Structure 1
Amino acid sequence: MDDLWDDKILDEFRRIFPDDDNRSRISLTSRLSSVTVNVDSSACIHHLGFLSPKQSWSLLCQKAFGNECCPPEIEEIGWRIAEKCRGLPLALAVIGGVLYKAEKTRANWEYVAENVKSAVTGNDDDFMEILSWSYDHLPHRLRACFLYMGVFPEDYVIHVSHLIRLWVAEGFLKPNTHRSLEEVAKEYLEELIERNLIIVRDRIYTGEIKTCNIHDTMRELCTRKAQEEKFLYVTNQEFDISSEVMKNQRHLSIHPNEQNADIYDSTIRSLLYFTDSLLPNSLYFQLLRVLEAGSINFSEFPMEILKLSNLRYIALSYSGKFKIPASITKLCNLQTLIVFESYGAEILFLPRELLKMPRLRHLLFDNGVLRCSDGPQNVNLQTLSGVIDFKLTHEALRTIPNLRKLGISYHCETHTELSLYCLENLVHLHQLESFKCYVISNDCPYIPLPQNLAFPPNLKKLTLSGCRISRHNMFLVGSLPNLEVLKLKEVAFENNAWETEGEFSRLKFLHVEASHFKIWEAEAAHFPSLHCLCIRGCMSLKCIPSGIGEILTLQQIILYGCPPSVVNSANSMLEEQQDWGNYDLKVHVIYPFDYYDRENQKISPDSDIVEWAIEILQRF
């Protein structure tokens, strides 16, 4: 049974074909993961992935040549065509049919290779009709979220946090009294993934989806359906955005190579720029909710946006001296404000009035100075990231009681003490799940963390950078009951040693980067849930504790710029695990620069491996 959409149909089939224990079987396919699970949770479920390049080429040849062989002069072009179908069997079958009917010349095949998408979607109405079934079977609450995926350019890596903030601002989500809008958005995203409409690119070790994207063919479906329904228009180099075709469109996405033109349409709810362009001379969009202009470099704040009272989301980039006016409070519906630095940008000074905006949910900066005075509670604010020297006074914390993500950098001089910033009050942020603390000092390389520092018990992700960490501090970190990700970046341990205490009961990812770190003592019982250990730049470390190799959950050890003794200890663990029959553990060794071993043999880095390692490290 192919392409099943409703598991209740099988109840009828069970009556017609009862299980007579004669070893007969029913095989079915579905685009909905939930259908296969509901049919029989104990059944053998095979999740089809995309075809490999070799499989893609084989299917293309089968459709384009039948039983004949591909002529050698067009084989290289054929491989390119197969690659551009990105492993989708349906696309390969359609393009193979096009090539089967065409003359087998280099010119014809080169033309198809340059126009694969239009050849697939424009030459077979059945192709788009088959894809449309996925949209037609979507619940109405998911349709806007799916169509919105068309705003992103082809092959764009979509950060889930970015996508969710946009969905929330657009008002696509049905409010739930027991969960936040962000939690509802994650549920919607999971549903679209289960329906195989969105592809997961990266998950972090906590299981959360980090990035996703959408296949070219599904994106084509998005843009077609969206334009038909006057939901979204995506500009391109052949389209004048002031023409009749975009009238009454609700969302407008502007990609590279667009034609500059003024836009006059009061129906636009969203204006999203994915290219460095210019804002329209006149922003006359009284219904505008989203202004995504992070790719545009502003030298001064665009004051005209303060007239757009319905704005819920603003993303900007700036250079030079940039100031956000206190009058931004006129935007009483604002939920998300993102202001990032471009080249030559100075420190951003933020108005005190910012935290008095009651609907704010997310504030993200690169380097923003924010002074917090006693004021009304901002119960909706969840994210405050990229602020400098932010004092965690009782008054400040009363203003932002429900914060979930906090990122602060402290710029310290020789005699500066971090206790000045009231870090001991951090424990009162009961909803806090992620805390990043960066200490920057040119005079004294490692400023000690306060001894009275205490962390809230709900903390799941912790990053400490540029500071000196005492044994007592590390004991407190190890006692956090919900901690899953710990990153220690360019830190110093007390006496350059870490004698692990406490049980990091739920820790899945541990990153340690400490150039003077010499001795590490730990047992498997200290990290019972660890999946990945990353050690970077620990040039003084003698070895990894042998107990680490006995952790049953450990899957990866990543060593980036570490001495041979550390590499040898990791390889010993690997060999021991393999002797026990455990082949799940992988050890990755990366030298980011030319390195000389004990025999004075030069080891040069593999650029591909270094690039992969940096991607892995940034994933967390």
Structure 2
Amino acid sequence: MAYASLLSLNQTLDQILHPHDQTEQQPILKSLYEQVSFLLSFLDVSSPQNTNKLRGLEGRIRDAAYEAEDIIESSMSNQIVSESGSHEDRTESHMTSNQIVSEWYQKFERLQKIIQEIHSISDEVVKMRERNELQVLQPSNSSSKSLSTNKGKSVMVGLAHNLMEIKKLLASPHSKLVVVSILGRGGIGKTTLAKIIYNDSLIANHFDVRAWVTVSQEYREQEVLKGLLNSLRGLNHESGEETIEKLAENVFKILKDKRYLIIIDDVWEIEPWNRVKSLFPDNNNRSRIILTTLQSRVAELACRLCDPYHMRSLADQDGWELMRERVFGEERCPPQLNEIGMRILRQCEGLPLSVVLISGLLYKSERTVSYWHYVLSNIRSEITDRDYGILDSVSFIYSQLPHHLRACFLYMGVFPEDYEIRRSKLTKLWVANRFIKPDRSKSLEEVAEEYLKDLVDRNLILVREWSYSGEIKTCSIHDILRDFCLMKAEEEKFNLDVEYLPEVHDNLRQVSILTDLKNQIPRLALTHDRDLRIRSVTIFFHNSPNDIHFITNFRLLRVLDALTIRFEEFPVELVELVNLRYIALTYWMKHRFPASIAKLCNLETLIINPGKFRSIFNTSFLPPEIWKMSRLRHLLFVRSYLPYPTDALKEETFVPLENLQTLGNVINFRWTKEVLDMMPNLKKLVISYEHDGRTEWSSYFFDNFVHLHQLEVLKCFFFAKCYIKYQDPLPVNFAFPQKLKRLTLSGCRIAWENMSIIGSLPKLEVLKLKDHAFEGAVWEPIEGEFSLLKFLLLEVTDLEHWNVDETHFQSLERLNLRYCYNLVEIPSGFGEHFTLQAIELYECSPSVVASAKSIEEEQRDFGNDKFQVVVKYEMSDV
């Protein structure tokens, strides 16, 4: 963590060093800043082949940087808390302020020694470079390659035979329920094979319903049942606080009388299977269950009407084809690399995961014989006695990562096994933890997304779901890689599960809480010196708000992710943790934020989640002081009332929120020119309006949206007050910015004739129209509009006839229709759209379903075998 610790210290120093600040400490801090910048620049260009030579130095760098930042930030924190109090508080804390000065001078001598240590390290680096002992990083040959190069094609390499065998088992003549166990060691590809089967269009069409659930080593029955139920319902239905018994009953009801396919992934013990197997009725209709496991006993006991299927290691030929495609894509492997490549392959022992990881390393590295020999000689150099031999390979691959990616990768160990995290949240966490190096030409979030794509290219992070616009939506990490992250994080003094806190070293920075805290509160009364070092706390267990007061001891905390805990009011004690940059909390009722939240002068991200109770009662009331928090980057709520700045603050000073990129969901807000000037860099906006029958729509200045020049995502929801049956349509002068890529509209009631307002947007890729966003019986698209649109959703509309030919929607990939009760048919013109990949229908008429099937046949006739129609809950003719 040498690079990450230096980068964090560098940003801390950059924040406090100003030309006008000529304090007594300024020269020493400037000297430290120069040395830190030098070491950062050195590590930026240092080749991964220097890892062994720098191992000792990196440990010294990490420890020195950690300690220096602890001293500086603790003094800054005390000063901010002292200065941000009321006049009475400041008077009462006069002695405390003196103590702060005294504390600074006490630590001043220690800081000088740390700087001397960093000077010494810098001198050693200079001498090593003078002796030509260090190599400089060579630019990657693949920096311009596509993120998805060959990934879709090569995923099938070596699995064709397995796929055929499993399909035979699924197609067995037994009308009874058949349970197929896929057995194999870690990294052999069990989950990958199951996913291919699950997503196969022919298999999907054979079953009425499908569901996927992951069990994992840390089995939690309620979570498994919720996952199974949500997968069956298909619309991300929230299952609330239902009991285990109620969840089980709902699963059984859905499956009763249906032909189903269930995938139960990653089962470690037989007990979880014994607990859930009664949920799956034998409908005598060829329903099937696939279970994946590492354990022979589990596979044998779970199987019904067939033997377990043993997955075998890759043959050399298949392994080489997989490696070649992952490294070179459509290019030929240079002849001089063939032999050495095969020798590297054999070190992977036929494990697809190992082949894929090594391929990711070679894909991103220089393609020379000397480097490939270096890989061969080092890939098995770190022998361990751990259960997974593949960890040896992962250790070497980690050592070859560029320094700026290492902390981002190890941070994945914070999350529970098989945890699926949204890209947008992960990048915010990386930014808040200061893992991202600033780039003047890009936002921190844009740089973070580049880091994520790089780790995906290296196959160290898995993409679980892609967005409709082709971006990463959610991601996760393989269990074996997570095991490595936990092992390495402990070695690097990086993160640990809370149950080990009493035994940790003093430099622990990240804490991941996966357990119940009720019986551990006494153990969390950490010493004053130790608590200063905790920078991030992430809670995944459903603890009580009363169980986490210990967090206030962590005075330098940057990240508090406590979405699994339900609060009734904002924990006001958090405002004393002035170093906080990221807060994520869950509320289940209306709540007001205190004015003192403005004391969190470093806060960048504030996320408020409603948990399972999404309703009008999940409303946040923000104070006027929010307009003083200039570092805010992301404000995310389910519903929030944001005070208008000038009305709310009157004579008080407020600042432009120039860093603000995300804002939502705000209620009934007025978008005047003055407000727009305060949010010049807004990229994502979610807004809602309650129509009371009296307020004119024009008073909200919707036409000013066109001046949000950086806006890329906009979601607008309009609905009437409970006492109003229908609201007025929005005015036609509704306008949108030209950079807009994703647009969601609901309840606007605009006539279809005015669709050109949207159709003319040059960069629009995703359009979702909900709850009568547009009204009328007929939609006549105009030729040339929606030229880049990839995804279109129509949900709850009175549309009857929709006239489309081959000149319309020429980039469309997915069409989703929900509750379109009046629509007669899907236009046949979509049958000639060769970009179209899928049509999804939910509660649509039989005639709409029939037209979708006709389009499917036409697409297949044109050779588009990947096209599929997914029908859920077809309406009856009655």
Confirm or deny a common fold (TM above 0.5): yes
- Name the TM-score, length of structure 1 as normaliser: 0.77
> Residue 220 of structure 1 aligns with which residue?
483
User: SS of the residue aligned with 2:189?
Assistant: coil
Q: Work out which of the residue numbers 489, 497, 503 in structure 2 matches 1:244.
A: 503
Amino acid at match of 1:152: F
Amino acid at match of 1:411: E
> Residue 459 of structure 1 aligns with which residue?
740
Q: Is the 8 A contact 2:186 2:480 kept in 1?
A: no
Q: Structure 1 unaligned runs (5+)?
A: 8-33, 59-75, 91-107, 115-120, 601-620
Structure 2 residue 669 is the aligned partner of structure 1 residue 400: no
> Residue 565 of structure 1 aligns with which residue?
847
Q: Give the distance between the partners of 1:48 and 1:560, measured in 2 at CA.
A: 31
Structure 1 residues 83, 321: CA separation in 2 closer, same or farther (over 3 Å shift)? farther
Deviation at 1:44, TM superposition (A): 9.2
Q: Is the 8 A contact 1:53 1:87 kept in 2?
A: no
Deviation at 1:506, TM superposition (A): 0.6
Considering fraction of residues, name the structure with more helix. 2
Structure 2 residue 858 is the aligned partner of structure 1 residue 576: yes
Larger radius of gyration, structure 1 or 2? 2
Q: How does 1:377-396 map to 2 (within 5 A)?
A: 377-396=656-675
Q: Give the distance between the partners of 2:143 and 2:710, measured in 1 at CA.
A: 34
User: SS of the residue aligned with 2:755?
Assistant: helix
User: SS of the residue aligned with 1:211?
Assistant: strand
Q: Give the distance between the partners of 2:685 and 2:869, measured in 1 at CA.
A: 33
> Residue 73 of structure 1 aligns with which residue?
none
Structure 2 residue 603 is the aligned partner of structure 1 residue 334: yes
Q: Work out which of the residue numbers 581, 584, 588 in structure 1 matches 2:870.
A: 588
Structure 2 residue 629 is the aligned partner of structure 1 residue 357: yes
Q: How does 1:145-544 map to 2 (within 5 A)?
A: 145-235=408-498, 239-241=499-501, 243-245=502-504, 247-257=506-516, 260-261=520-521, 262-264=524-526, 265-277=531-543, 278-281=547-550, 283-342=552-611, 343=613, 345-374=617-646, 375-441=654-720, 442=722, 443-445=724-726, 447-491=728-772, 493-501=774-782, 503-544=785-826
1:318-364 deviation line (CA, Å, top 9, x unaligned): 23342211111111111001112244844221112213311110000
Deviation at 1:494, TM superposition (A): 3.9
Structure 1 residues 83, 560: CA separation in 2 closer, same or farther (over 3 Å shift)? farther
Q: Give the distance between the partners of 2:431 and 2:143, measured in 1 at CA.
A: 30
Deviation at 1:514, TM superposition (A): 2.9
Deviation at 1:446, TM superposition (A): 5.0
Q: Is the 8 A contact 1:447 1:466 kept in 2?
A: no
Structure 1 residues 54, 420: CA separation in 2 closer, same or farther (over 3 Å shift)? farther
> Residue 154 of structure 2 aligns with which residue?
47
Q: Is the 8 A contact 1:348 1:367 kept in 2?
A: yes
Deviation at 1:467, TM superposition (A): 2.1
Deviation at 1:585, TM superposition (A): 2.7
Q: Give the distance between the partners of 1:134 and 1:435, measured in 2 at CA.
A: 40
Structure 1 residues 37, 44: CA separation in 2 closer, same or farther (over 3 Å shift)? farther
Structure 1 residues 506, 44: CA separation in 2 closer, same or farther (over 3 Å shift)? closer
Deviation at 1:421, TM superposition (A): 1.3
Q: Give the distance between the partners of 1:35 and 1:181, measured in 2 at CA.
A: 25
Q: Is the 8 A contact 1:248 1:267 kept in 2?
A: yes
Deviates more, 1:515-524 or 1:448-457: 515-524
Q: Give the distance between the partners of 1:580 and 1:57, measured in 2 at CA.
A: 26
Q: CA RMSD in A?
A: 3.3
- Name the TM-score, length of structure 2 as normaliser: 0.55
User: SS of the residue aligned with 1:279?
Assistant: helix
Deviates more, 1:572-581 or 1:129-138: 572-581
Amino acid at match of 1:328: I
Over the matched positions of the two proteins, sequence identity in percent amounts to 47
Structure 1 residues 499, 127: CA separation in 2 closer, same or farther (over 3 Å shift)? closer
Q: Is the 8 A contact 1:489 1:514 kept in 2?
A: yes
Amino acid at match of 2:856: L
User: SS of the residue aligned with 1:538?
Assistant: coil
Deviates more, 1:460-469 or 1:248-257: 248-257
Deviation at 1:53, TM superposition (A): 12
Deviation at 1:78, TM superposition (A): 11
User: SS of the residue aligned with 1:283?
Assistant: helix
> Residue 4 of structure 2 aligns with which residue?
none
Q: Is the 8 A contact 2:775 2:797 kept in 1?
A: no
Q: Is the 8 A contact 2:562 2:585 kept in 1?
A: yes
Q: Is the 8 A contact 1:51 1:87 kept in 2?
A: no
Deviation at 1:54, TM superposition (A): 8.6
Deviation at 1:478, TM superposition (A): 0.2
Q: Give the distance between the partners of 1:205 and 1:282, measured in 2 at CA.
A: 39
Amino acid at match of 1:181: L
Structure 1 residues 182, 496: CA separation in 2 closer, same or farther (over 3 Å shift)? same
1:129-182 deviation line (CA, Å, top 9, x unaligned): 222112111111100000100111011111000000000111101111111111
User: SS of the residue aligned with 2:563?
Assistant: strand
Deviation at 1:415, TM superposition (A): 4.3
User: SS of the residue aligned with 2:823?
Assistant: coil
Deviates more, 1:490-499 or 1:327-336: 490-499
Q: Give the distance between the partners of 1:146 and 1:167, measured in 2 at CA.
A: 10
User: SS of the residue aligned with 1:227?
Assistant: helix
Considering fraction of residues, name the structure with more strand. 1
Q: Give the distance between the partners of 1:357 and 1:50, measured in 2 at CA.
A: 53
Aligned length: 520
